[in-house]
Amino acid sequence: MAFLRRLSIRSQLLILAVSTIAVILVLIYHTYSTVSGMVTRSHEEYVQQTIAEIKRNVTSNKDVLFRLMQTISYDDEVQSYLVEQNAIARFERFKKLNVLLSSQRELKDGILDIVVSGDNGYSVDINGGARYADRLKDRLPGKVNAYYVGMEQFGTLYGSATGIVFASTISHVQQGERFNEKLGTLFFILDPKALVGEKEYDEEQTNTQIYLLDRDRRVITSNTSLQTGSRLPDFDSGSSPADHQTVQWQDRPFVVQTENLPAIDGGILSAAPKDALLKELLVIRRQELVILGIGLLILAIPFIFIINNILRPIKKMIFFMTSLQRGDDLRFGKRISLKGYMEISIMASEFNATLDEIERLTQKLLETNARLYGTELERKKSELAFLRSQINPHFLYNTLEAISGIAAVEGQARVKRMARSLSSIFRYSIKGTDEVELGEEVRMIQSYVQIQQIRFTDRFTVHYDFTDEALARLVPKMILQPLVENAVHHGIETTLRRCRLEIGGRIDEEGALIVEVRDDGIGIEPARLDELRNMLDKPAVGDAGPAGWESIGLVNVNNRIRLMFGDEYGVRIDSAVGQGTHIRLRIGQRRDGGDVQGADRR
pLDDT (tens digit per residue) in 263-313: 888 888 888 777 666 666 777 778 888 888 888 888 888 878 777 777 777
pLDDT tier for residue 469 given thresholds of 50, 70 and 90 = very high
Q: Distance from first CA to last CA of the chain, Å, rounded?
A: 43
Assess whether pLDDT exceeds 60 at residue 332: no
Q: Which three-class secondary structure state does DSSP give residue 343?
A: helix
Separation in Å, CA 521 to CA 394, 489, 499, 528:
20, 10, 6, 16
Separation in Å, CA 233 to CA 218, 247, 269, 483:
9, 11, 11, 77
pLDDT tier for residue 130 given thresholds of 50, 70 and 90 = confident
Assess whether pLDDT exceeds 70 at residue 520: yes
Strands 435-437 and 474-476, sheet pairing: antiparallel
Q: Write down the mean pLDDT value for the chain.
A: 78
Q: Give the torsion sign (CA, 473, 479, 481, 487).
A: negative
Choice among 117-126, 199-208, 345-354, 507-516 with the minimum mean pLDDT: 199-208
CB 187 within 8 A of CB 136: yes
For residues 458 and 316, give the distance between their C-alpha atoms in angstroms, rounded to a whole number. Answer: 80
pLDDT in tens, 164-201: 889 998 888 877 777 888 888 999 988 888 887 766 66
As beta bridge partners, residue 188 has: 114, 166
Q: What angle do CA 65, 70, 75 make, to 5 degrees?
A: 130
Assess whether pLDDT exceeds 80 at residue 498: yes
Instruction: Give the pLDDT of residue 328.
Output: 55
pLDDT in tens, 525-555: 998 988 888 888 887 654 444 434 444 578 8
pLDDT tier for residue 333 given thresholds of 50, 70 and 90 = low
What is the mean predicted confidence (pLDDT) over 426-435? 70
Instruction: Give the pLDDT of residue 514.
Output: 94
What is the mean predicted confidence (pLDDT) over 248-257? 76
Residue type, 242: A
Q: Which three-class secondary structure state does DSSP give residue 196?
A: coil
Assess whether pLDDT exceeds 70 at residue 579: yes
Q: Cβ neighbours of residue 418 under 8 Å, at least 6 residues apart?
A: 399, 402, 403, 406, 450, 451, 454, 455
pLDDT in tens, 213-233: 888 888 888 887 777 878 887
Residue type, 431: K
SS3 readout for 263-319:
HHCEEEEEEEEHHHHCHHHHHHHHHHHHHHHHHHHHHHHHHHHHHHHHHHHHHHHHH
Instruction: Give the pLDDT of residue 410.
Output: 66
Instruction: Give the pLDDT of residue 601.
Output: 36
Assess whether pLDDT exceeds 90 at residue 468: yes
Report the percentage of the chain scoring pLDDT > 90: 8
What is the mean predicted confidence (pLDDT) over 458-464? 89
For residues 224 and 490, give the distance between their C-alpha atoms in angstroms, rounded to a whole number. Answer: 95
- What percent of the residues of the chain are helix, what percent strand, and what percent coil, each to the nearest 5? 50, 20, 30
What is the mean predicted confidence (pLDDT) over 234-246? 57
Model pTM? Answer: 0.44
Choice among 16-30, 31-45, 275-289, 327-341 with the minimum mean pLDDT: 327-341
pLDDT tier for residue 462 given thresholds of 50, 70 and 90 = very high
Instruction: Give the pLDDT of residue 581.
Output: 92
CB 116 within 8 A of CB 122: no
For residues 58 and 221, give the distance between their C-alpha atoms in angstroms, rounded to a whole number. Answer: 11
pLDDT tier for residue 367 given thresholds of 50, 70 and 90 = confident
Instruction: Give the pLDDT of residue 471.
Output: 93
Assess whether pLDDT exceeds 90 at residue 466: yes
Strands of the 182-190 sheet, one edge to the other: 123-125, 111-118, 182-190, 162-171, 147-153
Instruction: Give the pLDDT of residue 101.
Output: 85
Q: Which three-class secondary structure state does DSSP give residue 581?
A: strand
SS3 readout for 454-490:
HHCCCCEEEEEEECHHHHCCEEECCCCHHHHHHHHHH
Choice among 60-74, 79-93, 442-456 with the minimum mean pLDDT: 79-93
Q: Cβ neighbours of residue 163 under 8 Å, at least 6 residues apart?
A: 112, 113, 151, 152, 154, 189, 190, 191, 192
What is the mean predicted confidence (pLDDT) over 9-13? 75
